[in-house]
């Protein structure tokens, strides 16, 4: 089954990158009054996404970055291209390695912005090196725990904005076809805490950790949508997880010097700009995208078999409950608004 899933994921990448041209971002809605937030917006897919949003004329774009100087450089570069008013883009600091930083950023969004129409939670890491972040393995923490901590902190503002505008706020988390190839050994049900196993430095499978974090993101997105369906009514929200596919970006910087990787990237990788089109499709998406994995700017209702089969459903529920417990230990009551 694992081999078949890996083959399906590989086939998806080959088909997508060689035979599919993603549509340029567009919006039927007037975005001049709308507000968008993009974390990790100073480079790679995040930067290209910010550039597209500015070109589309969003009223306010918040670029969330760890390094303020790099964020300001990206802001000026975008404004030079789009000729939008300087006031249309602001740079705010957020460090996904720090719960206090995430809390401060979310509090600022909630207090300083009149509305929020879309949040692209793009900040993430890919590493095979074991390191620690707020007491958890770093990629597990940044890509999963901190990302959903930000989601739950912002959920009241998202609901408030939906009621105010009649426009459900979208929360979009980039995914990857690598979720097909995620190692499943650390997720087996009935073997104790999943989080504890993932944080066991003696047994952690770091070679497959990034694909596994993308699988966990997909589980949580699906479970959130299951518990909070988006009916399209005011006050609703949309959460989705689009796959930009294999792109030229800074994410795989650990492999950047590998000759084999350079050849593979040249033959197969989408440009960073084209990959960002998939992310824009998510953050501008409608209620039909709620809870879904998006591939080639389309809802893919059936991702990897270990997402939708009995095993996947068991792990999805179990991991979500553990994640809620973890988030409640960070800030009691944070998940109660779901």
Tens of pLDDT, residue by residue over 41-86, are 999 999 999 999 999 999 999 999 999 999 999 999 999 999 999 9
Domain presence at residue 335: no
> Does the residue 227 lie in any domain?
yes
Which H or E run contains 264?
helix 259-268
- 236 domain residue, yes or no: yes
Which CATH number do you get for residue 183?
A: 3.40.50.720
Length of the chain: 338
CA–CA dist 283, 172 (Å, integer): 6
pLDDT recorded at residue 142? 98
Q: Residue 1: is its pLDDT beyond 80?
A: no
Considering the domain boundaries, does residue 316 fall inside one? yes
Query: For residue 156, is it within any domain?
Result: yes
Look up residue 322 and give its two tokens.
């553990």
Whether 95 shows a pLDDT value over 90: the answer reads yes
Q: Is the pLDDT of residue 9 over 70?
A: no
Domain containing 182 equals 2-21+31-330
Number of domains, the chain:
1
* pTM attached to this predicted model: 0.94
Candidates 181, 169, 175; CA nearest to 144 is 175
Please check whether residue 336 lies inside any domain of the structure: no
Would 57 be classed as within a structural domain?
Answer: yes
204 burial type by CB count under 10 A (0-12 exposed, 13-18 middle, 19+ buried): middle
Is 103 inside any structural domain? yes
Q: List pLDDT tens digits, range 231-290.
A: 555 568 999 999 998 887 766 555 656 666 566 566 677 899 999 999 999 999 999 999
Dump pLDDT digits (tens) for 158-214: 999 999 999 899 999 999 999 999 999 999 877 789 999 999 999 999 999 999 999
């Amino acid at each position: 089954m694992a081999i078949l899933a890996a083959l399906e994921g590989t086939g998806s990448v080959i088909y997508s990158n060689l035979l599919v041209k993603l549509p340029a971002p567009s919006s039927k809605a007037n975005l001049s009054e709308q507000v968008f937030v993009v974390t990790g917006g100073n480079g790679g897919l995040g930067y290209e996404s910010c550039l597209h949003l500015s070109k589309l004329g969003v009223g306010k774009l918040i670029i969330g970055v760890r390094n303020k100087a790099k964020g300001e450089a990206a802001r000026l570069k975008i404004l030079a291209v789009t000729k939008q008013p300087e006031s249309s883009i602001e740079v705010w600091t957020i460090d996904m390695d720090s719960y206090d930083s995430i809390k401060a950023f979310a509090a600022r969004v909630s207090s300083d912005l009149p509305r929020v129409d879309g949040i692209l939670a793009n900040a993430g890491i890919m590493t095979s090196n074991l390191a620690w972040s707020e007491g958890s393995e770093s990629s597990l923490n940044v890509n999963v725990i901190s990302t959903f901590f930000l989601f739950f902190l912002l959920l009241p503002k998202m609901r408030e904005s939906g009621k105010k505008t009649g426009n459900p706020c979208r929360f979009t988390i980039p995914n990857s076809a690598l979720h097909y190839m995620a190692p499943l050994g650390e997720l087996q049900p009935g073997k104790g805490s999943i989080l504890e196993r993932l944080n066991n430095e003696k047994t952690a499978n770091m070679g497959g950790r990034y694909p596994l974090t993308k699988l966990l993101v997909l589980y949580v997105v699906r479970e959130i949508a299951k518990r909070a369906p988006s009916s399209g009514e005011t006050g609703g929200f949309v959460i989705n997880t689009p796959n930009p596919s294999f792109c030229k970006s800074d994410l795989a910087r650990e492999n950047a010097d590998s000759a084999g990787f350079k050849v593979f990237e040249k033959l197969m990788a989408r440009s960073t700009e084209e990959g960002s089109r998939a992310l824009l499709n998510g953050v501008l998406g409608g209620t039909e995208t709620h809870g879904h994995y998006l591939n080639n700017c389309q809802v893919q209702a059936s991702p990897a078999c270990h997402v939708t089969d009995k095993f996947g459903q068991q792990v999805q529920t179990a991991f979500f409950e553990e994640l809620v417990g973890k988030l409640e230990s960070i800030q009691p009551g944070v998940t109660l608004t779901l």
